[in-house]
Amino acid sequence: MKLNGKTAVITGGAGIIGAATAKHFIAEGARVALVDRDQTQLATVLAELEASKAVAITADVTKGADCARYAHEAHAALGPIDVFFNNAGIEGKFAPLPEFSEEVFEEVYAVNVRGVFLGLKYVFPVMRDGGSIIITSSTAGLRGSPHFAAYTMSKHAVIGLMRTAAAEGAPRRIRANTIHPAMVESNMMRRLEMQRVGNRTLEDIQQEYKSKIPLARYIDPSEIAASVAWLASDESRMITGSQHVVDGGAMMI
């Protein structure tokens, strides 16, 4: 098993990618702490996992005190942390730049950038030497996306945080990498499709998105989880400061 005996913290643990990754990590031998602000959904996800292998911590990643608490509670429950999947994120709204809401910009920044920074700040000290940090960016972190200023900004920004963590972690053999999914079969995609639907059909919007992926389908959350597990494992021990794209070929066209 790739992650035998390892401990992991997963933010956005109640979400689709976080939950799929928790399941995969446990199947590979890890114990996990799931962090999310959605207490109800967190309980649902926890109930589906092997009880002795998972704990849930309700916290808002935008708040420093919550981040300090989840790092402390995860350490108390699991011991030193081997893997930090810094993954919580929101999508915000589509709008052209002149109409882009300042409030939405701030909201997306708070979760996707400040939340990732605070996670690094507080989890770093409780990590075991030789650990692995994986931050969820997006293909939107590698190119421009019209009408999607806040999300695009945030997913570029975390590459800077990842590189900082990779550089500061290296003396302790702590690695840091970003993962860049394209469209994943998820609630987030449903919400994005609904924003764009207007007078078109949902199927039409989905077809348009899928036409941007040479492998011609949305990515399954388990396919993101498998890549995250590999980056978390010792098999990727010489990989740090890198960007790992899981996009069905979307970035090449």
Q: Which of 8, 10, 34, 61 binds ligand NAD (CB under 6 A)?
A: 61
CA R_g for the chain: 17
Q: Residue 95 CB: number of other CB atoms within 10 A? A: 16
- The full DSSP string for 167-212 is HHHGGGT-EEEEEEE--BSSHHHHHHHHHH-TTS-HHHHHHHHHTT
Active site residue 151: yes
Structure-block tokens of residue 176:
């840091």
Binding of residue 87 to ligand NAD (CB under 6 A) = yes
Q: Which residue in the shown chain puts its C-beta closest to ligand NAD?
A: 15
CA 142 to chain centre: 15
Structure-block tokens of residue 20:
């799929």
Count of residues that interact with ligand NAD, criterion CB under 6 A: 28
Q: Determine the Cα–Cα distance for residues 108 and 22; give it in Å rounded to an integer.
A: 24
**Which of 61, 229 has the CB closer to ligand NAD?**
61
Binding of residue 136 to ligand NAD (CB under 6 A) = yes
Q: Which of 3, 8, 10, 14 binds ligand NAD (CB under 6 A)?
A: 14
Q: Which of 9, 90, 123, 149 binds ligand NAD (CB under 6 A)?
A: 90
Within 166-205, the residues that bind ligand NAD by CB under 6 A are 181, 183-184, 186-189
Binding of residue 133 to ligand NAD (CB under 6 A) = no
- Per the DSSP assignment, residues forming a β-bridge with 111 are none
Binding of residue 245 to ligand NAD (CB under 6 A) = no
Q: Determine the Cα–Cα distance for residues 224 and 47; give it in Å rounded to an integer.
A: 22
CA–CA–CA angle 215, 87, 92 (5° rounding): 80
Name the catalytic one among 70, 109, 122, 151. 151
Within 203-232, the residues that bind ligand NAD by CB under 6 A are none
The CB-of-175 to ligand NAD minimum distance in angstroms stands at 19
Binding of residue 89 to ligand NAD (CB under 6 A) = yes
SS3 category, 83: strand
From edge to edge, which strands make up the β-sheet containing 81-86?
54-58, 31-36, 7-11, 81-86, 127-136, 175-181, 243-246
**Which of 131, 181 has the CB closer to ligand NAD?**
181
Binding of residue 15 to ligand NAD (CB under 6 A) = yes
The CB-of-183 to ligand NAD minimum distance in angstroms stands at 5
Binding site for ligand NAD (CB under 6 A): 12, 14-18, 36-38, 41, 60-62, 87-90, 111, 115, 136, 138, 181, 183-184, 186-189
Give catalytic residue positions.
151
